[in-house]
Structure formats: C-alpha cells, structure tokens
Amino acid sequence: MALEQMTSALGVKNAKHLLQRATFGPTKAEIDDFAAKTPAQALSDLFQTQTEPTRPASWNWYEVYAPGGTSFPRLTLVTRWWLGVMLKSGANIREKLVWLLHVHFTTQKAAVSEATLLHQQNVLFRKLAYDGPLNVKDLTKKICLDNAMMRFLNGNQNTKARPQENFARELLELYTVGRGRNVVQTDPGDYKVFKQTDIEQTTLLMTGFKVNEKFDNLDPDTGLPRAELRNHRQHNNDSKQFSNYFNNTTITPDATLFDTDGNPTEGSMRKEVDDLIEMLFQNTETAMHMCRRIYRFFCHYNITDDIDNNIIADLAQTYKDNNFNLQPVIENLLGSKHFYDSANGSTNDDNYGVLIKSPLDLVLSAFRFLGVTQESQFDDFENNLDQLRSDLKNAGIDIYEPLDVAGYPAYHQDPIYNRAWISSTLLANRYDLVQEFIGTAMDMNDYGVTFDVINFFETTISVPSDINVLLDELITYLLPAEISTERRGYFRSVLNEDFPDANWTTEWNNRTSTSSQVDAQLRKLLNAMMQSPEYQLF
C-alpha cells in the first residue's frame, strides 16, 4: 500500500514535528518559516546541499597513522568537532543522516583507536547522506574496505590461515539482511534470514586485507583511503558457496583480474566484495531491514504487522526502485500523512511525542531553540564542546563509544528501544544538561555561554508582557503536543506564582537589562519546561 502524501501547508504543529525529527532541533523562526510550506517543499529545503565542514587547521597530526595511546586525545578532538558541526547544522537534514549512518554502521573509538580513521569514516558517511551517484549499496561496499571498520571488527586480522568472523557476522546481521522480524530460531546454524555457513563464506571472501597505514590507497569515488591487499597468500581464493537464502549463489574470483602468476590481486578481491554486496542487496530482507531502521529512527519504535506489511514494504520498494538511495525513502515517509497522523482523517497524534529524545537531541535542540549556535557565543568553543561531550556521556550517550557492536541500545534493542535513554541515574543527568545551560543567574554557564534570557524572550515571544501569550507560545513551540489546563497552570505558577496576570505585565514592562528578578523568573520557567516529562519527548 503506497503511503499517501500530505499536500497541504504544514502549519506550526507539523512543521515543529518534522524539524524536531529531521534536524537537531529548530528555532521558533525556522518553525514559523516551515509552517507555510508543504511537506514536499519543506523536504526539498531540508535536503539542500551544504558546504562540507572542514577539519580544523590545528590537526597537524592528521596525515600520520598513529594508533593506540598517541591517538586517544585526538579521538576526543574528532568527537567534539562533530558536535560542533551538529550544533551549527541549522534547518538541514544532513547531520541527522550522518548520525543515522553512524548508528547503522557503528564503530567504537576505543577499538579503532586512530583518530584520522574515525574522521575519514565520518567524511564517508556525509558523502552518502544525499541523493546522488552513490547510494547505501555503494556505501556498504566501501564500509567493507573502510580502514576504521577494518580495525573495529578485526578485518585486518582475517587471513586464510586464521579466519576472523567478526565483520562477516555483523555485515549480515546488522548492516544488510538483519535478524528478520519475529524470527524464532530453531536450528543453531539457521537464523531464518541467513545461515552460519553464509557467515563463514563471507569471512573467507574478506580474507587478506589490511589497514592502509600510509593513506595512499585512495578510492576513486570518494578520494578517501581504503584497505589494501595484505598478501595474496593470505586471501582464500576458492569459490564461495552461499545458502538458499541467497539463491545458492556461488561467488567465484575473477581470473581476468589475477596477476601474471595467477594469484589474487587487490582488484580481484575487491570484485569479490562487490559481488557479495550485490548478492546481499538482492535479498528483500536487506531493504526491509534498512527501512525498519529508518522508520524507528524518524517515526515510531513500534512496528506492527500492519505497518511492516504495508508501510515498511512500501518504503522498501521505494528504496529498491531508487537504487538504494536514502533520500527518496525519507521523503516518502516524512512527506506522508502517516508521519503526521492525518491518514484517513485520524487525529490521534500517535506519532507526536512518542519518541524519547536522545541526550544529543535533548541538549542540541535546547541550544538551538535558545539561539546559541555560533562559536562566537562561547567562551572557549573547543573546551566548551568537550564539557558537553562529557555531560552527554553521563546522560547516556558516549559518542563513538556505544555499548557493543550493535550500537546504541535505544536504536536497536527490542522491545525497549528509545526507553533505554531513561533510568533513575540517566534522568537526573538529563535534567542537569538543561540546568547547566540555562543556569539560575546572568553569569556564564558551565558551557562557557552567558545566556541572555531577557533578550531571548524579547526577540522570540511576540508579546512577552502578556503572560498568556508568553506561556502559549512557549508551550506550542517547546513541547511536542497540547497539555492539560492543570499543567499549563503549573507553568504559570512557576513564572508568576499566584499573582494576577497584571503583576507579570508590570514586572516585564519595568525590566532593565540587569533585572535580576525578571531574569530569575524566566530562567525558572525555562528550567521547569525543559526538565518536564513532556520536553523529554518529541
């Protein structure tokens, strides 16, 4: 069943919903701008190509391969560089897609332990974030030979004499065909979408590569270094026979690419990798697995039989019809009535406020809504980002260091999914993220920003002297859905206690740029709203 597209203007509620899911948080002005657009127009804007972020000039170590202890401080530099790119990304979907690709093709910085490789993989992801000549099938071929992935899943240790299955297993189970849906395994060697023998054959096919330590083996499509031939004797050059799940396909090395002595070459080995990925992407489960991932990432964690059989299947068909490009799939989903809960006249808002924000979404959306997105607003941008990186780790997301090879549990762990972001300890630390930014006074906060709360209300709220307008606009633009009269009353009391509305009007109209009382009241209100249960959702 094809997803019916929404053709009317978004309006504020739907614009907010789209921008919160597709970016790292909108400003009020961006929501107002997108409210007048149709979903198709909005998505066209979101997919506008941006200038590629450059690496800092201070990274004078970048051209030298240096794994291990020397690289550990540099790994942190890569993480905080990416945080800065996310913070400045604006009303554009690119960084959210780069994050999605990292979530899907996860790596751990401690295992990679080489900062240049980690950054090069990030660059690879952003080259595939938009519709273009390259696609996720191409990306998967390149991930097989990505230097960071080689180190992460021990591909550089996989030889003919000592096969190492780590990468082969994750290639099938996580990156392509997946684990299936509602699969009950009855045979230890049969995973219902692939078999243990498929892992073994994939392992043999991937033998004989190593990390390109000189960074001189460049991929002609991306210009990025890729893995190279270790030694032709360490590659298994036999034919590889796959199971019935892959139509009993046999992948045979191409003898026309052998050297003059009949030995495998890097070219013949890469051709085997290409043939492997072509085979995996012919399996319908590969498209279904990726589209389930996209649906849970952007829309809703719960995929019912009906959603799987209709919506996911439709997205998978779009994916295949468009040569495994992400953009048409995401446009199909985020432009649909289903995404906005308006299909068949439904007004139940089932897709609004149902996902718990990751700590990353939580804090970056707060920064962006409150207008803090530029380096000049920080006391020491690089060190301030390092404080943010540390606080995000305490709140449950250690960027580039997920718990295991499957990645961050909130994106894959059935049945809890996004609920993995919340525990008693993590919740307290989430609240601290907001508290540390907003603060309680006009002093510089823990992130090196002097947040001018009075100026924010002067420039963001249409009539800040009117307590009802102020509350209504904050609730509309900050919270994912309407709230009860009782909850609104609570937020009103936070700002104005039990005084009449006119009391707030007087206080606001008599304010100065250093009005400590008005400043404190507004910070108290923002803290209450941004630490509320409602604000944890989007």
**Chain centroid to CA 157: how far?**
29
C-alpha–C-alpha distance, residues 229 and 217, integer Å: 10
Per-residue pLDDT at 342:
59
Contact predicate 168/203, CB 8 Å: yes
Q: Is the pLDDT of residue 529 over 80?
A: yes
Contact predicate 356/362, CB 8 Å: no
Strands 240-241 and 250-251: antiparallel
Kindly give, in sequence order, each residue whose CB lies less than 8 Å from that of residue 396, ignoring residues fewer than 6 positions away: 358, 359, 420, 421, 423, 426, 429, 430
C-alpha–C-alpha distance, residues 273 and 285, integer Å: 19
- What totals of helices (H) and strands (E) does the chain contain, helices first? 24, 4
Per-residue pLDDT at 236:
98
C-alpha–C-alpha distance, residues 453 and 518, integer Å: 9
Per-residue pLDDT at 470:
98
Q: Is the pLDDT of residue 506 over 90?
A: yes
Domain boundaries, the chain: 136-280, 359-536
Can you name the residues that pair with 404 across neighbouring β-strands? 407
- Find the mean pLDDT for residues 86-103: 95
| Angular region, 505: left φ>0, alpha ψ -120 to 50, beta rest | alpha
C-alpha closest to that of 442 among 515, 363, 370, 366: 515
Cα 369–375–376 angle (5° rounding)?
100
Sequential DSSP letters for 237-295: -S-EE--GGGTT-EE---GGGS-TTS---HHHHHHHHHHHHHHHHHSHHHHHHHHHHHH
Q: Give per-residue pLDDT as tens, 148-191.
A: 999 999 999 999 999 999 999 999 999 999 998 877 777 888 99
Tokens representing residue 445 in the block: 């906060």
- Find the mean pLDDT for residues 112-121: 97
DSSP-derived letter for residue 2 is P
Q: Is the pLDDT of residue 345 over 50?
A: no
- Find the mean pLDDT for residues 82-95: 95
Per-residue pLDDT at 178:
96
- Find the mean pLDDT for residues 441-456: 82
- 153: three-class secondary structure by DSSP: coil
Contact predicate 392/460, CB 8 Å: no
Q: Is the pLDDT of residue 114 over 60?
A: yes
- Find the mean pLDDT for residues 351-357: 92
Strands 250-251 and 228-229: unpaired
C-alpha closest to that of 127 among 119, 117, 135: 135
Per-residue pLDDT at 1:
60
C-alpha–C-alpha distance, residues 144 and 147, integer Å: 9
Can you name the residues that pair with 210 across neighbouring β-strands? 228
Per-residue pLDDT at 349:
54
C-alpha–C-alpha distance, residues 445 and 115, integer Å: 30
Provide, rounded to the nearest whole percent, the portion of the chain with pLDDT above 70.
97
Of the listed ranges 23-32, 249-258, 296-305, 423-432, the one predicted with least confidence: 423-432
C-alpha closest to that of 466 among 517, 504, 520, 521: 504
When comparing pLDDT for 51 and 398, which is higher?
Answer: 398
C-alpha–C-alpha distance, residues 505 and 261, integer Å: 88
Average predicted confidence (pLDDT) for the chain: 93
Contact predicate 415/123, CB 8 Å: no
Per-residue pLDDT at 69:
78
Of the listed ranges 325-329, 378-382, 506-510, the one predicted with least confidence: 378-382
C-alpha–C-alpha distance, residues 175 and 344, integer Å: 34
Tokens representing residue 71 in the block: 């690289």
Of the listed ranges 101-115, 117-131, 278-292, 400-414, the one predicted with least confidence: 117-131
Query: Which string of b and e fits 386-405 if b means at least 16 CB within 10 Å?
Result: bbbbebbebbbbbbbbbeeb
C-alpha–C-alpha distance, residues 283 and 508, integer Å: 63
Burial status of residue 25 (CB atoms within 10 A of its CB: 0-12, 13-18, 19 or more): buried
Q: Give per-residue pLDDT as tens, 201-237.
A: 999 999 999 999 999 999 999 999 999 999 999 999 9
- Find the mean pLDDT for residues 40-52: 94
- 391: three-class secondary structure by DSSP: helix
Per-residue pLDDT at 354:
93
Q: Is the pLDDT of residue 465 over 70?
A: yes
- 223: three-class secondary structure by DSSP: coil
Which one-letter amino acid corresponds to residue 123?
V
Per-residue pLDDT at 72:
85
Of the listed ranges 183-192, 197-206, 436-445, 451-460, the one predicted with least confidence: 436-445
DSSP-derived letter for residue 9 is -
Q: Give per-residue pLDDT as tens, 471-490.
A: 999 999 999 989 999 999 99
Can you name the residues that pair with 218 across neighbouring β-strands? 225
- Find the mean pLDDT for residues 341-354: 64
Tokens representing residue 168 in the block: 């082969």
Per-residue pLDDT at 402:
95
Query: Does this model's pTM top 0.85?
Result: yes
Q: Is the dihedral of CA 382, 386, 391, 397 positive or negative?
A: positive
Query: Which string of b and e fits 262-291 if b means at least 16 CB within 10 Å?
Result: eebbbebbbbbbbbbbebbbebebbbbbbb
Residue with tokens 């026309």: 256
Give the other-Cβ count within 10 Å of 492's Cβ: 19
C-alpha closest to that of 280 among 226, 205, 333: 205
Per-residue pLDDT at 213:
97
Contact predicate 526/519, CB 8 Å: no
Q: Is the pLDDT of residue 442 over 70?
A: no
Q: Is the pLDDT of residue 425 over 60?
A: yes
